[in-house]
Structure 1
Amino acid sequence: MTITVKNVVKKIRGNLVADQVNLTLHSGTVYGLCGYNGCGKTMLMRLIAGLIVPTEGEIQFDGKVLGKDISFPPSMGILIESPAFLGGMSGFENLKLLASIQGKITDETVRKAIARVGLDPKDKKKYRKYSLGMKQRLGIAAAIMESPELVILDEPTNALDSDGVALTKKLIAEERERGALVIMTCHDHVTLEGVCDTIYTIEHGRITDEKHMDAEGTAE
C-alpha cells in the first residue's frame, strides 16, 4: 500500500487544522507524528482514515482518491482518542461484535488478538469494570485483530504501565514485520523514536520537520 497526501488543507469552523500537508507513506513502515496538543496530529489521522474530508487537496490509496473513488481505506484498523465499547459486554464479546461486521476473522483470531495485548480472552468481566489500562489494551486489540494493511494508533501507550508500553512497542514492531503501514502518535518521544522509522513534527497543522531513524532509534 502507498498512501499519498497531496496539498491537503482542512479548515474547521474557520480554524486551519491541516495546512498544505504533503506525504508519501509506504507499507512495512512505522510513521510517528509528534507535536504539542492541538497541533493537528489527530486531525491528520482522521483525514487519512476518511473520518473527515479535506477542504482542499486529496488523499490517495494506491492511486484511488479517498472520498471519491473509495469512501474509506480498504483495509484499516484504528484507535483514535479514547477507546469506546459496550459497557455491558465482555472484551471478547465486544470484539466479536466488531468482527461480525466484515466477517473476515474467526472467534479464535479474536481471542488471539486479545491475548496479544496481555488480556485474558476468557475473562467474563464487563467492559464497564475495566481499568483505563485494560480499556486501552482492548482498543489496540480491536485495531490489529483483522491484520489490516493500515494501522492508525493515536497515543496507544496512554494509561499503560511499563509492561504495557513494552508490549505495545513489540506489537507495533510485529505489525511492521507483517507488512502493515503504521501511523502513530505518542507524547513520549523516547517511545516514538524507539519504534518509528520516520517521525514528522507538526506545528499549526503544517509538517515542519522530518526525521528518519536508524535501527537503534537514533536520527540519521
Structure 2
Amino acid sequence: MSFSITLENVTKTLNSNKVVNNVSLQLGSGKIYGFRGSNGSGKSMLFRVISGLLVPDKGVINVNGDILHKDISFPESMGIVIENPDFIPHLTGKQNLKVLASIKKKAADADINHALEVVGLDKNDSRKYKKFSLGMKQRLAIGQAIMENPDLLILDEPTNALDEATIERIKTFLNEYKKRNKLILISSHDRYFLELISDEIYEVKEGRVTISGNID
C-alpha cells in the first residue's frame, strides 16, 4: 500500500518563534527522507507537526487524502521516536513492548521478538528498564516504533547513544523496510549516516526546509 504526506505552507509558532516556518513538502512511500540541521533548527518540531503531536497555526497537512486535525487526529499506521518515550521502569524490555502492543493489538509476540532482534536486544534479558544503559533505552525506543510494522516511520536522532554495530543493524533494517513501500523520515546530526541511508535530504534552518539534493 502506498503512503503519502503533503504539507502546504505549514507554520507553527511557539513563544513568538516560528519553529516550523511556511513549510511545503511532498513525501511518498518507498523512500527514506533525511532531515539535518543544528540543535533548535526545527527538525523535531517539524516531526511533531507531521505526526499530529503539534497542531500547526497555518497550512494544511494531507495524509493519504485525509486532512490532519480535520479528518484524522494522527496518521494511521505510524511508528515514532521523538526524544525519550516513557517506559515502565520495573518491567523488562520485552514486557514494556507487550504492554504497548496491548493497546492497538497490532503486534503479536513474534513481531515483538523480531523488533527486539532488529535492534540487538535479547528477548530473554531479565534486566529491568531502569537498569538499561542509554544505548539500550534508545534501541528499545526504536523497537517500539517498528514492532507494529507501520507504513510511516518517524525517527528523530535514532543513532544517539548507539554503537557502530547497532547503527549498521538499523541501517540494514531501514533499507529493507523501505523496499516494502514504507515512508521513512529520519533526522540526524550524523551527516555520513544520513547520506548513506537517505534517498533525499532536506536542510532545516530556523524552521525553514530546503532540499539538499538526491542521493545516488
Residue 134 of structure 1 pairs with residue 136 of structure 2: yes
Q: Would you say the 8 A contact 1:3–1:25 is kept in 2?
A: yes
CA positional deviation for 1:82: 2.2
Q: By how many angstroms is 1:150 displaced?
A: 0.2
Q: Distance in 2 between matches of 1:52 and 1:39?
A: 16
Q: Equivalent of 1:192, from 178, 191, 194?
A: 194
1:140-173 Cα deviation digits (max 9, x unpaired):
1100011100000001110011101111111211
Match of 2:158 among 156, 161, 166: 156
Query: Number of matched residues?
Result: 214
Alignment partner, residue 83 of structure 1: 85
User: Aligned partners of 1:18, 1:130: CA distance in 2, in Å?
Assistant: 34
**Percent identical residues:** 49
User: 1:5 corresponds to which residue?
Assistant: 7
Unaligned runs of 5+ in 1: 215-220
Q: Letter of the aligned partner of 1:170 in structure 2?
A: T
TM-score (normalised: structure 1):
0.95
Give structure 2 stretches of 5+ with no counterpart.
Answer: none
SS in 2 for 1:89: coil
Match among 98, 101, 106 for residue 99 of structure 1: 101
- For 1:109, what is the secondary structure of its paired residue? helix
Contact 1:8 1:22 (C-alpha < 8 Å) held by counterparts: yes
For the residues of structure 2 that align with 1:74 and 1:123, how far apart are their CA atoms?
Answer: 31
How big is each residue's C-alpha offset from its partner over 1:35-62, in whole Å with a ceiling of 9 and x where there is no partner? Answer: 1110100000000000001100011111
| Deviation for aligned residue 1:100 | 0.5
Aligned counterpart, 2:183: 181
Confirm or deny: 8 A CA contact 2:118 2:170 kept in the other structure. Answer: no
Question: What secondary structure does 1:23 align onto?
Answer: strand
> Aligned pair 1:58/2:86, yes or no?
no
Q: Distance in 2 between matches of 1:161 and 1:115?
A: 16
Moved over 2 A (4+): none
30-39 vs 174-183, which deviates more? 174-183
Map Cα deviations across residues 77-118 of structure 1 (whole Å, 9 max, x no partner): 000012331110000000001011111121121111111111
Q: Does 1:113 align with 2:123?
A: no
Q: 1:122-149: CA deviations, max 9, x gaps?
A: 1111000011111111111100011100
Task: Indicate the SS of the match to 1:142.
Answer: helix
Of 16, 37, 41, the match for 2:18: 16
* Structure 1 residue 63: Cα displacement: 1.6
